[in-house]
Amino acid sequence: MISYILRFRLILYTIIGFLVIEACFVFLIPKTPWDHPIGFIEGTLLENNNRAKFVIAEKMSHIKKNKFDIIQVGGSSGLHASQPNIVNTYLKDKKYFNLSCCRDTSFQGYRFLLEAALKSTKAKISVLYLSPLSLPSPTGNPISSELGDSIYDSYLGPWSNIKTASQNWRYYIVNKTFNPNNPEWSNNPLGKHKILLDNTMTLQYLTPENIQQHIKNDSGWLPHYDVITPTSETWTKAESEYFLKEIQYFEEMLEKYDAKMYMIFNPSPYNSNILTQELETIIEKGFSKLENIKLITKFNTFWELEMFNDDVHLNSKGSAKASHRIGKLLQENL
């Protein structure tokens, strides 16, 4: 009996101690303007994933505060291609937001991000925007990733909505360090702290403050600066199997939210060949079986090299053309 009482007291004292500590943090923590999920951006602020996480967190924060009707997800080809300010000129009473980020998000991450956005905005229309050169594969573009797992944990996981005062303290310290007004980050476009999202997409001329401004003023679109002349084609037939499997997961998620999605492939600087024609046939057949997702472009659409900075990223001229293309496609299909 005494042993039982001692154990009960120990548990009670632990709970009381926890509550006292949390109460202290309530009075210690200054109010902050940031609403990134706790733990999403970690202390290693110069790691590539944190640059991507910063973009994602800022975009998610923006769509929570503003009403958008159409949400685009996908990799960096869409991040740099789709300018909502142009797309919106083709949409009567709907607003388009570019939630695309980067390849490191992974295909699972694209889906997690879209689900979080659908829950947050109540939007019912979405776009998956991909380069035909970026289909998922075990050895190439990732099907899953640490970044994708972080998106799930921070925006969809069972603990994503639970915040304690002590967690907010950590949140405050990390965000204070990562504040765009921090001299370590601001006014340093060419210094050692380049904003790199991954090895293939460079935002080296944009500070976090610039990124925030683009997200606010351009509804998620970010320009692409890095110029790498395309050199070779990388079509792989086997990738269609992984791609269609991931698309099926999108189909199931969209069903849960009574939402629809349009699949748009970015143009490429390469002409179609026998392999791309085979891929297109396989992909079109796969999409024809879906109820909530509609493919509204060809798998490969050739554009002149002058529109590109590299294989998958359009330059400013190409981005404007692509945005008109997206607007027209949605106008025809909505």
pLDDT at 179 over 80: no
Helices vs. strands in the chain: H and E counts, helices first: 11, 7
Distance between CA 331 and CA 287 in Å, rounded?
Answer: 20
Q: Mean pLDDT, to the nearest integer, of 147-168?
A: 75
Percent of the chain scored above 70 by pLDDT? Answer: 67
Percent of the chain scored above 90 by pLDDT? Answer: 39
Q: Mean pLDDT, to the nearest integer, of 262-268?
A: 96
Structure tokens at 122: 């109540």
Query: Taking the mean position of all CA atoms in its chain, how far away is CA 162?
Result: 23
Residue at 303: amino acid letter? W
Strands 201-202 and 196-198: antiparallel
Predicted pLDDT at 19: 62
Predicted pLDDT at 287: 95
Predicted pLDDT at 276: 82
Better-scored residue on pLDDT, 41 or 198: 41
Predicted pLDDT at 225: 72
Distance between CA 186 and CA 197 in Å, rounded?
Answer: 17
Picking from 58, 33, 88, 40, the residue whose alpha carbon sits closest to that of residue 213 is 58
Better-scored residue on pLDDT, 314 or 205: 314
Predicted pLDDT at 190: 34
Q: Mean pLDDT, to the nearest integer, of 315-330?
A: 96
pLDDT at 181 over 80: no
The domain made up of 48-333 has a fold known as Rossmann fold (3.40.50)
pLDDT at 29 over 70: no
pLDDT at 164 over 70: no
Query: Taking the mean position of all CA atoms in its chain, how far away is CA 320?
Result: 21
| Banded pLDDT at 198 (limits 50, 70, 90) | very low
Domain range list for the chain: 48-333
Most confident of 2-16, 157-171, 253-267: 253-267
**Total residue count of the chain as it appears in this document:** 334
Better-scored residue on pLDDT, 20 or 224: 224
pLDDT at 136 over 70: yes
Predicted pLDDT at 125: 96
> In the beta sheet, which residues pair with residue 125?
70, 260
3-state secondary structure of 252: helix
Predicted pLDDT at 72: 98
Asked if 145 and 106 touch (Cβ cutoff 8 Å), the reply is yes
Q: Mean pLDDT, to the nearest integer, of 122-130?
A: 94
As a whole number, the mean pLDDT across the chain is 79
Most confident of 39-43, 84-88, 116-120: 84-88
Give just the sign of the alpha carbon dihedral 206, 207, 208, 209: negative
Give just the sign of the alpha carbon dihedral 38, 39, 45, 48: negative
